[in-house]
Amino acid sequence: MESSTYTSTPGSQPERKKLISVKPIYITLGIILGLALLVGFVWGIVWLARTQAATVEAVRDILLIALALESCLFGIVLLLMLLMIVRLVNMLEFEIKPIMEKTNETIGTIRGTTAFVSQNVVKPVTEARVQMAGLRRAIKTLFGNPRNNIPR
């Protein structure tokens, strides 16, 4: 059984989009097969324990040794990760933190310099330009355009 939906975008033809679906019979067969494998595995272990006890004990011992080695390896990896985390914290505290403090100090200096230049350079120059423009406009208003007053 196939499911499908139709989607469309503005200005285009609707396109058919197939949805993936699994038939219920396949799900049922998968569950039955999984249970059969589990029962077979348990039956095989019980049969081996009754008939081949020495072999099962040897395999058990080998698996216990492998598990112990894996635990040791896991502990070493955890120690290495802890060492890396300690190095990261040290780097953040002793290398990056001073850089951030210097950056904040520099930003503060830039703010102060900007305020100083704005107050002592830009504002007076702007006011002088405004005064000159006003004076020029006043002279033009009082005497007219000087180019028109010069005889030719």
**48-73 as b/e: b if 16+ CB within 10 A:** eeeeeeeeeeeeeeeeeeeeeeeeee
Predicted local distance difference test score (pLDDT) of residue 114? 92
| Helix 24-51 vs helix 53-91: crossing angle, to nearest 10 | 120
Predicted local distance difference test score (pLDDT) of residue 132? 93
Predicted local distance difference test score (pLDDT) of residue 12? 56
Average of per-residue pLDDT across 3-18: 58
* Contact status, residue 17 vs residue 7, Cβ threshold 8 Å: yes
In the numeric block, the tokens 């007076």 are attached to 124
In the numeric block, the tokens 């949805």 are attached to 19
Predicted local distance difference test score (pLDDT) of residue 5? 52
Res 80 pLDDT > 80: yes
Number of helices (H), then strands (E), belonging to the chain: the values are: 5, 2
Average of per-residue pLDDT across 12-41: 86
Phi, psi of 22, deg, nearest 5: -110, 135
Average of per-residue pLDDT across 36-60: 90
Predicted local distance difference test score (pLDDT) of residue 1? 47
Tokens in use for 13?
């033809």
Average of per-residue pLDDT across 107-128: 92
Q: Return the bridge partners of 18, or none.
A: 4
